[in-house]
Amino acid sequence: AQSVSQHNHHVILSEAASLELGCNYSYGGTVNLFWYVQYPGQHLQLLLKYFSGDPLVKGIKGFEAEFIKSKFSFNLRKPSVQWSDTAEYFCAVTLPSGGYNKLIFGAGTRLAVHP
């Protein structure tokens, strides 16, 4: 079955540290890839997405992600995190499924940034 794996369940960083969150998916065909963020008490928001083209995707709030097809990976990065980046981050894949393109989520990574 198709799945999305996020390697880090809980990450703790100090402000200004660099961030990289791993995401791998298991599907051999064409995929659309997403990173969502859920701030405490808030709903899911889209950070960035990849459909095609340049595999290095830039999103909001200084985040970027790189799609490496050969590794089935879509890792999220940020060069310098801030306290306000404390949130839960979800990687997701859209697979063609009866035309409705349902999202499959990873387990999430909880990021805590300390001042």
Partner 1 sequence: GAVVSQHPSRVICKSGTSVKIECRSLDFQATTMFWYRQFPKQSLMLMATSNEGSKATYEQGVEKDKFLINHASLTLSTLTVTSAHPEDSSFYICSARETYGAYEQYFGPGTRLTVT
Residues in contact with partner 1 by CB under 8 A are: 32, 34, 36, 42-46, 49, 51, 90, 94, 98, 100-108, 110
Of the pair 28, 100, the CB lying nearest partner 1 is at 100
Contacts with 95 (C-beta within 8 Å, 6 or more apart), sequence order = 2, 27, 29, 31, 101, 102, 104
Please say whether the beta carbons of 102 and 94 come within 8 A. Answer: yes
Nearest approach, Cβ of residue 58 and partner 1 (Å): 16
By C-alpha distance, which of 1, 4, 14, 2 is closest to 92?
Answer: 4
